[in-house]
Amino acid sequence: MTTTDKAPDKVDTDLVTLTIDGVQVSVPKDTLVIRAAEQVGVQIPRFCDHPLLDPVGACRQCLVDIPDAGNGRGFPKPQASCTLPVAEGMVVNTQATSEVADKAQQGVMEFLLVNHPLDCPVCDKGGECPLQNQAMSNGRGESRFAEGGGIKRTFPKPINISAQVLLDRERCVLCARCTRFSEQIAGDPFIALAERGALQQVAIYEREPYESYFSGNAIQICPVGALTSADYRFRSRPFDLVSTPGVAEHDACGAAIRVDHRRGKVMRRLAGNDAAVNEEWISDKDRFAFRYATTEDRITYPQVRETLPTGERGELRPASWPEAFAVAARGLRAAGAGAVLTGGRVTAEDAYAYAKFARVALDTNDVDFRARPHSAEEASFLASQVALSGGVTYDDLEAAPVVVLLGLEPEDEAATIFLRLRKAAKRGRTQVVSVAPFTSRGLRKMQGRLVATAPGAEVEAIGSLKDAEHGVTKDAVILVGERLAGTHGALSAAVELARTTGARLAWVPRRAGDRGAVEAGALPNLLPGGRPVTEASARVDVAAAWGVDQVPAKVGRDGNAIVAALAKGDLGGVVVGGVDPDDTGDPAAFRAALDAAGFVVSLELRETDVTRAADVVLPVAPVTDKAGTFVTWDARTRAFDAVFTNPASLPDLRILAGIADELGRPLGFRTVSEVRGEMQALGPWDGARAELDAGKAPRAAKAPKGEHPMALATWKQLVDLGAMQDGEEHLRATARTPVARLSRASYDAVLASSDTSLDGAGEQQLVTVTGDRGSLTLPAVVADLPDDVVWVPTRSVGRGVLAELASPGSPVTVKGASR
């Protein structure tokens, strides 16, 4: 018996020995008979049973005969094996050996089909339907009900229970998996069973729509075709689909998915099973958002910009790959000093290619993957605390007595973490503590405690967590979101909290490629493998591995500095890979920098403001067309293979290699596997780590004159206007309504100082939030924020807060508005 001090709750469980169909098996105490039977290879048919949901015993399909319950006495009637725990000496006879059990199961199956329509030929579930399959394996071929002229219960065909989820009540076998999932796992109990008898049905409450970020899981676990998605309904037959395992690319959680495709087209995505990561659940974004890669504005061929006879810039025109590589190389060489900006969506291999391209081809450390507000303190934090770190896992979240969230809203920004924390909190062992402006719905569902914090006040709030009342001890886990970088000193305070309490700290970025980019060295202060640029031996390491004389020694510019230097003319060329200008800290400045740059090379999937400003546009492969690796927040490497073979679709690393070849500075690889080999050979840094340096505080933004300023709090909601949800109208329709949140006192003050009044009963008051970049008008909602703070969703209206309102944390004004 071995136990580790890390997981005190994982002690060897007592084993119970029982006999199932004559086969003796030992299983942990409290195992249910239905799962013990799986251990001896007997599958008992079932509908309501689901290993991750509480047992309910409703469908009665899994009846077995128990001649001996372990006490020498048997049960007089067949028992539901999904609700019955094993007992020492128990004897179980399933349908395989017991006529009683077999008849009971056949009887229940026959009943289930009494009111089930025979529309399998047009049902989406047909071919992968547990009812269909088990009716064949454990039912009779002919229906005595139909023979006798029985009349089925009918309902109008599907009704929407949300914009995405359709309910066909006739097909429903009332197993309550969907309602139990929504209540027990997602915490969104907006669907429930209503009515009784055979008229019982899944119902919604019209005043609380079924807006759940996890509704797709209910569709997936539906054992019949009762729940279907608007997205996939009538699109294909399961037996025409090819399934390829994959990794969700929408956040840093690394949820396992299954990509189902047909003739070169993704038809749907399902949750994969990975007990260590996402169990069996994924968010609706991971499930439904995949058409962004096949929208009309997808770039399918390289383009170069024409130069007009007058010498002015002309239009983009199609070009061959060799020409585009040559033009890009020539342009970059001519532009002088260059830099590299990548978004957080690239794979670790691609991030490595960008990092190497900057150092080898452009001879610079001016590379940054942080296409979002960021700071020098964050770069130092990433180099000193995040790179090469690891050890905190999903299971640790479940085992920790306290999990502290700093600048992280898991339900919106890391859905898989949210589900784990909710599970842990529901079990009553884990207390979630969140430093955030208000109690979000997600925090409420995790039964979390709010440390109400205005933007800018995070440092004091984090400092206060040392108090014993919060219970942050060495067993606690601190999860740091990328937004914490928005307040100077907050990351340092988080590190200090971890140091003084002994708690473990992990960084949870929003995007799938962020952590991999840190490890791959797509930062101005880090080389691949967590090697500090400032360490001579680290540079020698890398230079030797790469076969170059040296790598640049000077710490490079970060994203903000690159934008500033491009605008100023200090930098001439820039390679931009997958950056949406409206995600960056200052979208207007970013656009201006692109205009000012001497030469812009854009590696993009679809047309964006970057491609429109670029001199060379190189189409890159979406995740379906290439192999790659995402490194998750918990340092798990999640490799995936290409779903499709598309020779015209090149990964970023192949394109960068092409340009580097033309520059006469080859990168030494052309394929994903070559990059993987090189990364492996280089290995992690084993020398001294950089120290965390908070640096100087930036100048505080000035409040608009003569106004009562409020601090702007914001984050991105899971479902919003992000470019990777384009083309998914049904998913977007399930997004939460964008609102502005204010404290009661601030709300009253805003109303008192405005001449607007409520337009009518039931109407929500509108407010206009104005910052230095524009204003947004949204319905106002009162929440438990600190006074003089207003929260708005970052990317749910127009071009978003960064482009059209103000920088997060900066002062804004709020006024009442009329409709």
Partner 1 sequence: MSDTLTPVLTDNWDTERAWTLASYEERGGYAALDKAFAMAPDDVINAVKESGLRGRGGAGFPTGMKWGFIPQDNPKPKYLVVNADESEPGTCKDIPLMMASPHTLVEGVIVSSYAIRANTAFIYVRGEVLHVIRRLQRAVQEAYLAGHLGKNIHGSGYDLDLIVHAGAGAYICGEETALLEGLEGRRGQPRLRPPFPAVAGLYASPTVINNVESIASVPSIIVNGPSWFAGMGTEKSNGYGIFSLSGHVSTPGQYEAPLGITLRELIDLAGGMREGHELKFWTPGGSSTPLLTPEHLDVPLDFESVGAAGSMLGTRALQLFDETTCVVRAVLRWTEFYKHESCGKCTPCREGTWWLVQTLAKLEKGEGSEADLDLLLDQCDNILGRSFCALGDGATSPISSSIQHFRDEYLAHLTHGGCPFDPAASTAFSPVGAEA
When binding is defined by CB under 8 A, the residue of 67, 111, 117, 209 that contacts partner 1 is: 111
Of the two residues 63 and 348, which places its CB atom closer to partner 1 in the complex? Answer: 63
Of the two residues 59 and 178, which places its CB atom closer to partner 1 in the complex? Answer: 59
**HSE, side-chain direction, 13 A CA sphere, residue 802:** 22
Q: How far is CA 608 from CA 48, 199, 581, in A?
A: 47, 52, 9
Of the two residues 101 and 227, which places its CB atom closer to partner 1 in the complex? Answer: 101
Q: Report CA torsion sign: 219, 221, 222, 223.
A: positive
User: Residue ranges of the alpha helices (H) in 719-799?
Assistant: 729-733, 744-753
Of the two residues 168 and 412, which places its CB atom closer to partner 1 in the complex? Answer: 168
Are residues 433 and 460 in contact, defined by beta-carbon separation less than 8 angstroms?
no
| Binding-residue pattern over the window 49 to 68 for partner 1, x denoting contact by CB under 8 A | ------xxxxxxx-x-----
DSSP for residue 184: I
When binding is defined by CB under 8 A, the residue of 110, 128, 183, 661 that contacts partner 1 is: 110
| Residues facing residue 167 across a β-bridge | 159, 227
Q: Report CA torsion sign: 399, 400, 402, 407.
A: negative
Shortest distance in whole angstroms from residue 103 CB to partner 1: 8
Helix (H, G, I), strand (E, B) or coil at 781: strand
When binding is defined by CB under 8 A, the residue of 37, 87, 104, 348 that contacts partner 1 is: 104
Please name the helix (run of DSSP H) or strand (run of DSSP E) that holds residue 338, with its range, or none.
Answer: strand 338-342
Q: What is the 3-state secondary structure (H, E, C) of 530-557?
A: HEECCCHHHHHHHHHHHCCCCCCCCCCC
Shortest distance in whole angstroms from residue 151 CB to partner 1: 6
Shortest distance in whole angstroms from residue 227 CB to partner 1: 18
Shortest distance in whole angstroms from residue 196 CB to partner 1: 5
Number of H helices, E strands in the chain: 26, 35
DSSP for residue 388: T
Of the two residues 145 and 321, which places its CB atom closer to partner 1 in the complex? Answer: 145
Of the two residues 54 and 755, which places its CB atom closer to partner 1 in the complex? Answer: 54
When binding is defined by CB under 8 A, the residue of 52, 91, 114, 781 that contacts partner 1 is: 114
- Rounded Cα distance between 410 and 416, Å, is 8
Helix (H, G, I), strand (E, B) or coil at 714: strand
Determine whether 757 is exposed, middle or buried from the number of CB atoms within 10 Å of its CB (0-12, 13-18, 19+). exposed
Determine whether 209 is exposed, middle or buried from the number of CB atoms within 10 Å of its CB (0-12, 13-18, 19+). middle
624 forms part of the interface with partner 1 (CB under 8 A)? no
Shortest distance in whole angstroms from residue 166 CB to partner 1: 21
Query: Closest by alpha carbon to 461, among 482, 487, 441, 483?
Result: 487
Query: Closest by alpha carbon to 53, among 181, 178, 172?
Result: 181
Of the two residues 50 and 420, which places its CB atom closer to partner 1 in the complex? Answer: 50
Shortest distance in whole angstroms from residue 64 CB to partner 1: 12
Kindly identify the residues of this chain, within the stretch 152-171, that bind partner 1 according to CB under 8 A. Answer: 153
Of the two residues 69 and 639, which places its CB atom closer to partner 1 in the complex? Answer: 69
145 forms part of the interface with partner 1 (CB under 8 A)? yes
Shortest distance in whole angstroms from residue 40 CB to partner 1: 24
- Count residues near partner 1 (CB under 8 A): 40
Considering only 101-109, 624-632, 687-695, 699-707, which stretch makes contact with partner 1 by CB under 8 A?
A: 101-109
Shortest distance in whole angstroms from residue 215 CB to partner 1: 22
Are residues 312 and 340 in contact, defined by beta-carbon separation less than 8 angstroms?
no
Shortest distance in whole angstroms from residue 37 CB to partner 1: 18
For the record, the structure tokens of 785 come out as: 């924020």
428 forms part of the interface with partner 1 (CB under 8 A)? no
Of the two residues 196 and 705, which places its CB atom closer to partner 1 in the complex? Answer: 196
98 forms part of the interface with partner 1 (CB under 8 A)? no
Are residues 349 and 629 in contact, defined by beta-carbon separation less than 8 angstroms?
yes
120 forms part of the interface with partner 1 (CB under 8 A)? no
**Ramachandran region, residue 745 (left: φ > 0; alpha: ψ -120 to 50; beta: rest):** alpha
For the record, the structure tokens of 415 come out as: 């859905």
Shortest distance in whole angstroms from residue 89 CB to partner 1: 19
103 forms part of the interface with partner 1 (CB under 8 A)? yes
Kindly identify the residues of this chain, within the stretch 175-214, that bind partner 1 according to CB under 8 A. Answer: 192-200
Shortest distance in whole angstroms from residue 30 CB to partner 1: 12
Of the two residues 198 and 276, which places its CB atom closer to partner 1 in the complex? Answer: 198
Tell me which residues touch partner 1 (CB under 8 A): 55-61, 63, 76-78, 83, 103-104, 106-108, 110-112, 114-115, 144-145, 148-151, 153, 173-174, 192-200
